[in-house]
Chains A and B, each alone.
Chain A
Amino acid sequence: EAQVTQNPRYLITVTGKKLTVTCSQNMNHEYMSWYRQDPGLGLRQIYYSMNVEVTDKGDVPEGYKVSRKEKRNFPLILESPSPNQTSLYFCASSLSGLAGNTGELFFGEGSRLTVL
């Protein structure tokens, strides 16, 4: 089954304790992206990646890191989480949007993170 898988789905942590949210897709998509969703603000892009070893900042990258060592995986790293990073996080992937494909995003189920 074609899917985007995120882990963990729920996490409560404390300020300053490094954590990683994993994301994996099995559709051979070039493009992957991380969003956070907060009430009234919608989905805001954190980082995206056009392909392996190619990453770029979205609109709200502060406090986050990413890596794209393999095509299927795009982990989100919070080196020193703070309470303002409490949010619902979505990973998404798509074809590139070039070569005539629409490039619609396929989303993971979301990871709800609480930082105390």
Chain B
Amino acid sequence: GQNIDQPTEMTATEGAIVQINCTYQTSGFNGLFWYQQHAGEAPTFLSYNVLDGLEEKGRFSSFLSRSKGYSYLLLKELQMKDSASYLCAVREGTGGFKTIFGAGTRLFVKA
């Protein structure tokens, strides 16, 4: 079966760095995604990893270790607007793809 775990809530200070961890168990791994969701809005795509290593995109970086079933999202130079939920999602399957989401990590950025 599949299982995706991430912390429920985190708090960080404006200007700081925060790391949101995600562990997963799945069959037929075909990529890991991070999405951002502001309250009352739809999720939006942040990052994608399919091979081991770090992907950097501006203030956001995402890391993947397939052997450990582990990923993290790193947010640098935090801004108040980064207060949102961060969703870890795994795409699995061969031929017919399913994207399964974790419950999300709600990040509060304080001044």
Contacts and interface: CB of A to CB of B under 8 A. Distances in A.
Interface stretch (A12-20, A41-49, A64-72, A73-81): A41-49
Give the size range of A's interface with the partner.
Answer: 20 to 34
Contacts of A96: 97
A108 B35 CA distance: 14
B100 interface: yes
A39 to B, nearest CB: 9
The secondary-structure label for the interface of chain B is strand
A90 B42 CA distance: 8
Contacts of B48: 102, 104
Interface in A14-52: 31, 33, 35, 40-45, 48, 50
B42 A108 contact: yes
A106 B98 CA distance: 14
A97 B96 contact: no
Interface string B32-58: 010100000111110010100000000
B33 A104 contact: yes
Contacts of A109: 41-42
B42 A107 contact: yes
Contact of A97 (B44, B97, B101, B104): B97
Nearest first, the 4 A-B pairs at minimum CB distance are A42-B103, A107-B42, A43-B101, A104-B45
Interface of A: 31, 33, 35, 40-45, 48, 50, 54, 56, 58-59, 90, 96-97, 102-110
